[in-house]
Amino acid sequence: MKPNSLKETQYRVQAVERALDILDCFTFQDREMSLSDVVRKTGLNKTTAKRLISNFTSRGYLQQNHLSKRYQLGLRLFELGAIVFSSFNLREVAAVPMTRLQSETGGTVLLGIMMEEQLVYVGKREGGGIIRISSDVGWRRPLHYGVLGMILMAYLDEKTVRGIMKKQPLKAYTPYSVTDVDAFSLRLAQIRNQGYFIEREEAVEGIIGIAAPIRNYSREVIAALGIAFPTSQSLLSNGMENSVELVKRSCSEISSELGYLKI
């Protein structure tokens, strides 16, 4: 088999291909379709198409008009699309403030969002020191990991937080990590009260992090922005308080560009 042919056929799952074929049927011209329309456009047999459509409908990826019995794309796809759009828009808006923050502090600047109850890094500016922070764009971590994750968790409702910690138990990444659930909950309340957080060697020994939340037009916290630097780095020559203010200013600028109004 030729290399190109092998590359093209690897990891293709027939059931997934069939399911995606159904979603691909919908266009601006064909926004609603009957079961017969789907069968005709995909070439699937009626039983298979009906079973896949039923799964999509139960998960919100498709919805059915109860009068016409025709199907259309569901709100779940809209929600996922909004996440993607928000991430791209966020990265664009955050680009200049992140670059400036890196220049002002010398630290590694990280931008993260919550996706599927995990911390996902969507932006990074490498620090000027000799020690490299390993978290790269696209990496996923448990939501309670590091200063960005704690910022994101702080603005979730208590029930959601408890559910996440049940599925992703707190872990001791270093001797300084907080692993007690009640103590961690008090930590989240502290973050909400002061609007930022300073994490000292809890995720990685020898690394300090400072982060604050980013809000959108609906006042929802959609991301966290922070700086990370070695404890030995001279970043603190201007004082920790100044570093905190620089992070908060950057978050405020990005939030304003996303439509957040302080009223």
* Contacts made by residues 19-28, CB under 8 angstroms, sequence distance 24+: 19/52, 19/55, 19/56, 22/49, 22/52, 22/53, 22/56, 22/62, 23/56, 23/61, 23/73, 23/77, 26/72, 26/73
pTM of structure: 0.65
Q: In this predicted structure, what is the pLDDT of residue 261?
A: 76
Nearest to 44 by CA among 32, 36, 34, 55: 36
Counting the structural domains of the chain, the total is 2
Final residue of a structural domain among 73, 100, 122? 73
> 133 lies in which domain range?
81-257
Q: Is residue 4 part of a domain?
A: no
Same domain assignment for residues 138 and 19: no
Same domain assignment for residues 226 and 178: yes
Final residue of a structural domain among 57, 73, 89? 73
Same domain assignment for residues 91 and 198: yes
CB-CB contact of 196 with 212 (8 Å): yes
- Euclidean distance between CA atoms 229 and 210, whole angstroms: 9
Indicate the average pLDDT of the chain.
85
Encode 141-193 in three state secondary structure.
EECCCHHHHHHHHHCCCHHHHHHHHHHCCCCCCCCCCCCCHHHHHHHHHHHHH
Same domain assignment for residues 134 and 210: yes
Query: Which CATH number belongs to the domain containing residue 49 in this structure?
Result: 1.10.10.10
Q: Which residues of the chain, if any, have pLDDT below 70?
A: 1-11, 82, 84-88, 128-136, 233-238, 263
Same domain assignment for residues 95 and 183: yes
Q: Is residue 7 part of a domain?
A: no
Same domain assignment for residues 53 and 164: no
Same domain assignment for residues 59 and 88: no
Final residue of a structural domain among 38, 53, 73? 73
Q: In this predicted structure, what is the pLDDT of residue 29?
A: 82
Same domain assignment for residues 97 and 189: yes
CB-CB contact of 149 with 141 (8 Å): yes
Q: Is residue 263 part of a domain?
A: no
Tokens standing for 82?
């909004």
